Amino acid sequence: MNEEDLDATPAQRAQRELQRRVATERCRYYVPNGRAEQFLNQLRAFSPNDPRNIILILRAGNSFGKSALACNIAAYLSRGKPNPWFDSIPYLKQFRRPNRGRIYTTANAAKNTYDDEVKKWFPGQSYAPSKDGTTFNKKLKFRNKSVIDFFTFDQDVEQAESVTLDWQIADEPPPRKLWGAMKTRLRFGGLTIFVLTPLEDAAWMADELETPERLGKDVFVTTADTEDACIEHGIRGHLPHASIESMFSDFDEAEKAARKGGAYLHLSGRIYKTYRAEPEFHCPVDIHDYHMAEWDRKDFTLWNVIDPHDRKPFAIGWYAAFRNGDLYTVAEWPDDSWLPFHKLKDCTYVPKDYARLLKETEAALGCGQDQGRRVRRLIDPNFGNTPCFATNTTIKQELSAEGIKLGYSLNFQDPPDSLEGGHVAVKALLGDVTKNVRPKMYDLAHCKNHIFGMTRYGWSENHNEKKGLSEKPELLHKDFPDLKRYLALAKARFIELPKEQIIQRASSYGKPGYRGV
């Protein structure tokens, strides 16, 4: 206690201590905005010391406050000074300390952002920085024995490989080859966080991390618009609305969606932008309770759509249309016993195999009782009607003939084939959850090829409408979204049957979670 404190009252001393903390331990007072809080809250699903590798991704617009958030998470993980926002999340509060953490970022940010952010937020008397031969603070050693170092994207990847970490944070997308080293750093489980504005070098993250197989299992994504940090329109935001407006006024739509909305720039040509792969939006794990009784008494219409190919396997979907107009993708082929569709190059199936596959799948869905006559079938009207060179028959005719041999009706109809009209029709069914327009089209979570296609279907990167017709635009990941386009163009819906045909007793198999044969 210094001399000044000797004649200070307890209240004065408390006041001085408070001032000291406010000045030198700002991490105690860091307040995340509403969206950042939502991002952190995903860790509530995990108990302290969960042994798994947990990956959180925050895709956020410019000036959202990513680096301040990253910095405060790092400070909290290392030193654990009280902060109510972090203390309330058991996984963070009881994170093992001391620990070894690392922040990956650009050389520029390490020097020009992090030195200042660390000085601003970290508890001043708790750590000692060292430069280790660089021009910025490369390593921070804490009095509690925690250690953080900074690894910049321009360093050799091999240098990243020698250390075992408890947590790691990447500020901006690391190069793909660095991820190869990052993903094996957490040998005993721990936390990996990405905060980024997904402009360049982020495509690998969409392809490798944000896949239907991983989302919600070990990868958790939050997107944040710069507006989420708006004083007027966000929750606990810090930016005046006018400054956000002027920040993005010069960018075209695609770049604005990335810079302001945190959307992947390389996916800016996406057709179905309102489609959301989360279970609470377009990809539920099961049919909604509302429809379960209908499902159980087969009170829906099963639609089957095929996009045939020469060498690649056919893309096949089965859809349940309910009375209120809701459409659910309930099964797909190739199912998840195969590689993802976009990785399959060829397939040995002939029409006979496809006919058997259709019959068996529909039996397993509980819809095969009437020899397939009640299933509504659509096929790509182009390829489906093209005569095969060898036999001079069409795929449509061959499937029908194979069906007859099996005693099973496989008669396909041609849907209309408008690209633009189909996009409009599918978009109408997808609704827009951000505008409270309820979706009428869902993909059950096990239909991974549908989900992969719907989240990526779009114009190839070099497509530019302004460049005119000499550039040939190409649609990527078209196959499964095409099934939905045909479905929407054919106005797929529930079709009432004459009373005596309704089957009263539910079949014992045929659960909607069925995965194909």
- Residues at the contact surface with Zn ion, assessed by CB under 5 A: 230, 232-233, 241
- Closer residue to Zn ion (CB): 232 or 471: 232
* ω into 334 cis (within 30 of 0): yes
- Closer residue to Zn ion (CB): 108 or 243: 243
DSSP H helical ranges for 129-282: 176-182, 203-208, 241-247, 253-259
In the complex, the smallest distance separating the C-beta of residue 433 from Zn ion, rounded to whole angstroms, is 20
Phi, psi of 516 (to 5 degrees): 95, 180
Q: Is 305 helix (H, G, I), strand (E, B) or coil?
A: strand
Q: How far is CA 294 from CA 326, 494, 503, in A?
A: 12, 11, 11
In the complex, the smallest distance separating the C-beta of residue 227 from Zn ion, rounded to whole angstroms, is 5
CA 191 to CA 334: how far, in whole Å? 34
By the 10 Å C-beta count (0-12 exposed, 13-18 middle, 19+ buried), 498 is classed as exposed
In the complex, the smallest distance separating the C-beta of residue 60 from Zn ion, rounded to whole angstroms, is 15
Q: What one-character-per-residue DSSP string does 407-470 give?
A: T---PPBPPP--HHHHHHHHHHHH-BGGGTB--SEEE-TT-HHHHHHHHH-EE-TT--GGG-TT
Return all residues near 445 (Cβ < 8 A) that are at least 6 apart.
212, 279, 283, 284, 285, 451
- Closer residue to Zn ion (CB): 260 or 270: 260
- Closer residue to Zn ion (CB): 235 or 406: 235
- Closer residue to Zn ion (CB): 242 or 419: 242
- Closer residue to Zn ion (CB): 61 or 80: 61
In the complex, the smallest distance separating the C-beta of residue 250 from Zn ion, rounded to whole angstroms, is 18
In the complex, the smallest distance separating the C-beta of residue 206 from Zn ion, rounded to whole angstroms, is 27
User: Whole-angstrom distance between the N-terminal and C-terminal Cα of the chain?
Assistant: 76
Closest to 275 measured CA to CA, from 448, 489, 429: 429
Q: Element (H or E) spanning 35, and its range?
A: helix 34-41
- Closer residue to Zn ion (CB): 239 or 277: 239
In the complex, the smallest distance separating the C-beta of residue 226 from Zn ion, rounded to whole angstroms, is 9
In the complex, the smallest distance separating the C-beta of residue 63 from Zn ion, rounded to whole angstroms, is 12
Give me the residue label for tokens 């910025």. 136
Bridge partner list, 320: 302, 328
Q: Is 93 helix (H, G, I), strand (E, B) or coil?
A: helix
In the complex, the smallest distance separating the C-beta of residue 242 from Zn ion, rounded to whole angstroms, is 9
- Closer residue to Zn ion (CB): 63 or 386: 63
Residue nearest to Zn ion (CB): 230
- Closer residue to Zn ion (CB): 77 or 239: 239
In the complex, the smallest distance separating the C-beta of residue 125 from Zn ion, rounded to whole angstroms, is 38
By the 10 Å C-beta count (0-12 exposed, 13-18 middle, 19+ buried), 18 is classed as exposed
In the complex, the smallest distance separating the C-beta of residue 219 from Zn ion, rounded to whole angstroms, is 30
- Closer residue to Zn ion (CB): 241 or 493: 241
Q: Is 351 helix (H, G, I), strand (E, B) or coil?
A: helix
- Closer residue to Zn ion (CB): 247 or 401: 247
In the complex, the smallest distance separating the C-beta of residue 431 from Zn ion, rounded to whole angstroms, is 25
Angle formed at CA 249 by CA 198 and CA 252, multiple of 5 degrees: 55
In the complex, the smallest distance separating the C-beta of residue 436 from Zn ion, rounded to whole angstroms, is 19
- Closer residue to Zn ion (CB): 241 or 511: 241
At what angle are helices 448-456 and 479-489 packed, to 10 degrees? 90
Sign of CA dihedral 50, 52, 57, 63: positive
Sign of CA dihedral 428, 432, 436, 441: positive
CA 43 to CA 39: how far, in whole Å? 8
CA 283 to CA 275: how far, in whole Å? 9
CA 205 to CA 194: how far, in whole Å? 10
